[in-house]
Amino acid sequence: MYRIVNKLAHGFALLGGVVLSLIILLTCASVLGRSINSILHNDWLQEVMPGIAGALLATGVGPVDGDFEIVESGMAFAIFAFLPLCQLHAAHASVDIFTSALPVRINQIMRAVIEAVFAGVLILIAVQLGSGMMSKFSSGQTTFLLQFPVWWSYAASLTGAWVAAVVGVYVAAMRMIEGLTGRAMLPSDAGAAH
């Protein structure tokens, strides 16, 4: 079962990475286009080379229309796409000043309780995101510039949220078994302890 959950989490993380990379390229293209447009509108360039500046401006060089709408939607998806892998490998930041001195068995039980609460929160987030998506779907709301339906962004994020919830429930169940039996069910975590 761990292999399936691990592949699912890695698959979503890779997809999130691709989306994040595309967002970075889009942002760079938009900033570059905006900068070139500003340079071409410069008074000095308009006086010295008005024909060349005008010709380049006529090509439509400038910022990407609706770039912030695409970035907003893509980032929401990317965050939810990375969450399952983070949950599976216990890579959330943790502060263990007090718990590091406790016995291993107590730490296992505490970890099981924390993971169960976290799984519940992930389910709640997915349910509320689904409710929000249905609200946006029924209202027919679209983005301002690109006019694409807002519910599309919610639907993309919802897939990652549900995968994170499933992974969260799996991790909680495995941590509970670890807490009850005392034996490791998941690989040692790569947590970001501070």
Domains in the chain, number: 1
pLDDT score of 186 more than 70: yes
Tell me whether residue 194 is in a domain. no
Tell me whether residue 53 is in a domain. yes
pLDDT value at position 12?
A: 95
**How far is CA 188 from its chain centroid?**
24
> How many CA atoms, within 13 angstroms, populate the side-chain half-sphere of residue 129?
23
| Mean pLDDT along residues 110-134 | 94
Average pLDDT, the chain: 89
Q: What is the pLDDT of residues 18-69, one digit of tens each?
A: 999 999 999 999 999 899 888 888 888 788 888 888 888 888 888 899 999 9
Tell me whether residue 193 is in a domain. no
pLDDT value at position 89?
A: 87
In the chain, % of residues over pLDDT 70: 96
* Residue 116 token pair: 């169960």
Tell me whether residue 97 is in a domain. yes
- 194 pLDDT band, cuts 50/70/90, is very low
pLDDT score of 190 more than 60: no
Q: Please provide the size of the chain in residues.
A: 194
pLDDT value at position 187?
A: 74
Q: Do 125 and 169 form a contact (C-beta atoms < 8 A)?
A: no
Q: Give dist(CA 39, CA 42) in Å, integer.
A: 5
Task: Give the number of other Cβ atoms within 10 Å of residue 70's Cβ.
Answer: 21
| Mean pLDDT along residues 82-91 | 90
Task: Find the domain containing 160 and state its range.
Answer: 2-187
* More confident site: 79 or 101: 79
* Residue environment code for 105-139, b if the CB has 16+ CB neighbours within 10 A, otherwise e: eeebbebbeebbebbeebbebbeebeeebeebeee
| Residue in the block written with tokens 């439509």 | 60
pLDDT score of 94 more than 80: no
